Amino acid sequence: MNPVEGHFGDQFIEAFDELLRWRRDVRHFKTDPIDDDVVEGILRSAELSPSVGNSQPWRWVDVRSPEPRAVVKETFMRCNADALNGYRGERAQKYLSLKLAGLDQAPVHIAVFCEDGTAQGHGLGRQTMPETLAYSVVTAIGSLWLAARARGVGVGWISIVEPDDVCAALDVPDGWRFVAYLCLGYPVQVESTPELERAGWQARTDPRARYFVR
């Protein structure tokens, strides 16, 4: 059902909730390419995200060259080994069993940055909380994730990397803060249950434990 004047019916709400359930962090990708128009459509949808002061501080970098991709993989491998050292016993074994990156298989890599010095928005809403610029970027990433899933494309967020290494490899302007390295591709398997939950790493907890009234 099409929304009328900003109002959405029950069928749309149910479909949206279903999209949220099936939006998962993907780690296993097919190597099939994604058409450019599909990627462009995903980014256009992400551009509809709200931002503090309408600043739109997100900057998307489509990483296609093998050289920066190799740097990202190298920093991931190093940081992943360091992270493993922080676990012991059964938890370490579980960590080893997880596939934490789709860097080799995912056909599309997008690095996401926040331009902290952007003049757009004229500083509205971020004088006391400048971190709202980065929050706006994360909101755009969430929108991208949903837009990708709606088109059958999976997204994986690679957070086990050194931000300085990524910035240097991509030669981004000064003042661009690294926020995320995303892998996009068609998932090998589509699941509504998070992989970390299926692997026994961390189960979802009762939402009531995170809801407070003051």
Which of 3-7, 30-34, 192-196, 202-206 bottoms out in mean pLDDT, i.e. has the lowest?
Answer: 3-7
Q: Is the pLDDT of residue 166 over 60?
A: yes
Tell me if the domain spanning 25-190 has CATH number 3.40.109.10: yes
Q: What are 62-102's pLDDT values in tens digits? A: 999 999 999 999 999 999 999 989 999 988 888 878 777 78
Domain boundaries, the chain: 25-190
Closest among 150, 140, 122 to 59, alpha carbons compared = 140
Mean pLDDT of the region 150-165? 96
pLDDT in the model for residue 158: 95
List pLDDT tens digits, range 110-142.
Answer: 999 999 999 999 999 899 999 999 999 999 999
- 197-205 average pLDDT score: 84
